[in-house]
Structure 1
């Protein structure tokens, strides 16, 4: 049985594990939306999934890669970021951090998908991602928490007209009386400071 509170190294390990689980959920949702968009624009039929492991800044994630019956579809979001040296897992966290606007989400989706789709399809995908974001923000969480840990890390964020910059992500990690851990929220802010933490709280 783990006793709380925990030391800093253990907290960092658990925090990254919890974030990795959330990253997996975000990327899976993006993959499913990408295949739907491809089939709408190019025709064809779904043909299940195949497993693939992907290394991210938060550790290895296991994804179910969608495929089509005709063999023409491959997830467009898996390659561009490898070429740009921006971690896809970090993008997933950025999308789910509080304060992601429609415009910012559209920028991220356009960079992820390149020129593969029309503007209308990118807009529809952005709307779908933002619905997932809102569902994450408003999901029910346990009323009782034994502990709430606050910590942060830095990730790469694309800023229009500026390029890629490192910004602070603040994370609230809750632990229930039964020991269940879950990420309560993400906040994306330019720097880590006492003032920013006050804003989060």
Structure 2
């Protein structure tokens, strides 16, 4: 029997599971595995598949009954198969008490780290002590997809989100026997109570205006209203899509990316005071003060030819980088950059590095979607 090795603290895991939407994913995944395995057990008991005529047949199917089971993360309801003569009894219930914690950990690993055939096989072997066919594993994998898809398409008209954060990152996917890059689009939002959550996920071929526009249209179809501000990097296609799809919405250029762009134009040595002067521009609470500090910066450093490109970069992107100062002061520090989204991207990247190349686009959507469900409500 294959043994899965875990270094997770079960108490910490259970607390994180119970306090997040991943609980529903894990429970649903366990129900799918157990129901499917009991179905397989009944087939083997009857020695005949559904509707199959066989001289070896021992009995006939007689529907299902529901039975509840208490597991480490709560109560689940199973669909237990029956036979006409009543001689069939699934082994799940007597075995489960011995593998409850291991299975819960395994299912969490499966959902958050991507559902591969190998991993699902290991999980089922952990449960029943025997190997299963590849087609059986594939059927389990396919049944997990609706869980993530339902979350990814949930309505967005329940709350108004004045501030949106948008970003894209690239992964590698196997497609038509080739390894190709794919763009993952993620959007998060903050409501008027400063609570953040993930509201959108999409995977497309490249990061482009058309892809961003389609992403925004999908979000609007789910009920998303035009926000006050969209915070992002300076991707031209993204900026154009914001203008087209969100009428009356301002664009906030991520100040972290923007300041990094300016610093990259500075000389490698002797620029510490220049950097301090530049950062002072963004340590204000009004557009007027920021503009005043910007003019002081230019006046102080414009005679230095080595700073010409840095000053040009500052002037070209300055107004877009201070749009957050038009919002109430209580929100300003939360809407200057996409840092919160970048941290989420790092979590996705950490899992993605383990897999390296996804077998297909759906497996990538499954992994990222499950991870975002776990982190749906951001700090």
TM-score (norm 1): 0.53
Q: Which moved more, 1:81-90 or 1:129-138?
A: 81-90
Structure-2 separation of matches of 1:83 and 1:100:
24
CA contact (8 A) 1:30 1:129 kept: yes
Structure 2 unpaired stretches of 5+: 1-14, 47-58, 162-188, 190-199, 202-341, 349-371, 373-379
Runs of 4+ displaced beyond 4 Å? 11-14, 194-197
Q: Considering only aligned residues, what root-mean-square deviation do their CA atoms show, in Å?
A: 4.1
* Counterpart for residue 291 of structure 2: none
Structure 1 residue 34, shift from structure 2 partner:
1.9
Match of 1:199 among 333, 337, 347: 347
Match of 1:79 among 80, 88, 94: 94
Number of residue pairs the alignment of both structures matches:
146
Q: Larger % of strand: which?
A: 1
Structure-2 separation of matches of 1:55 and 1:89:
12
Local SS of the residue matching 1:65 = strand
Structure-2 separation of matches of 1:78 and 1:64:
12
Local SS of the residue matching 1:138 = helix
Structure 1 residue 75, shift from structure 2 partner:
3.2
Structure 1 residue 103, shift from structure 2 partner:
0.7
Structure-2 separation of matches of 1:79 and 1:21:
24
1:41 has 2:189 as partner: no
Judged with a 3 Å threshold, the aligned counterparts in structure 2 of structure 1 residues 80 and 47 are, in CA distance, closer, same or farther, namely same
* Counterpart for residue 129 of structure 1: 140
1:142 has 2:144 as partner: no
Match of 1:67 among 82, 106, 121: 82
Q: Deviations over 1:166-194 (max 9, x none)?
A: xxxxxxxx9xxxxxxxxx99xxxxxxxx9
Structure-2 separation of matches of 1:99 and 1:23:
13
The 5 Å alignment of 1:13-52 reads 15=19, 18-43=21-46, 44-52=59-67
Structure-2 separation of matches of 1:14 and 1:112:
22
Larger Rg: 2
* Counterpart for residue 4 of structure 1: none
Structure 1 residue 196, shift from structure 2 partner:
7.3
Structure-1 separation of matches of 2:113 and 2:149:
11
Local SS of the residue matching 1:54 = strand
Structure-1 separation of matches of 2:112 and 2:90:
23
Judged with a 3 Å threshold, the aligned counterparts in structure 2 of structure 1 residues 112 and 128 are, in CA distance, closer, same or farther, namely same
Structure-2 separation of matches of 1:83 and 1:13:
21
Q: Larger % of helix: which?
A: 2
Structure 1 unpaired stretches of 5+: 1-10, 148-173, 175-183, 186-193
CA contact (8 A) 1:56 1:87 kept: no
Structure-1 separation of matches of 2:16 and 2:38:
34
TM-score (norm 2): 0.31
CA contact (8 A) 2:41 2:90 kept: no
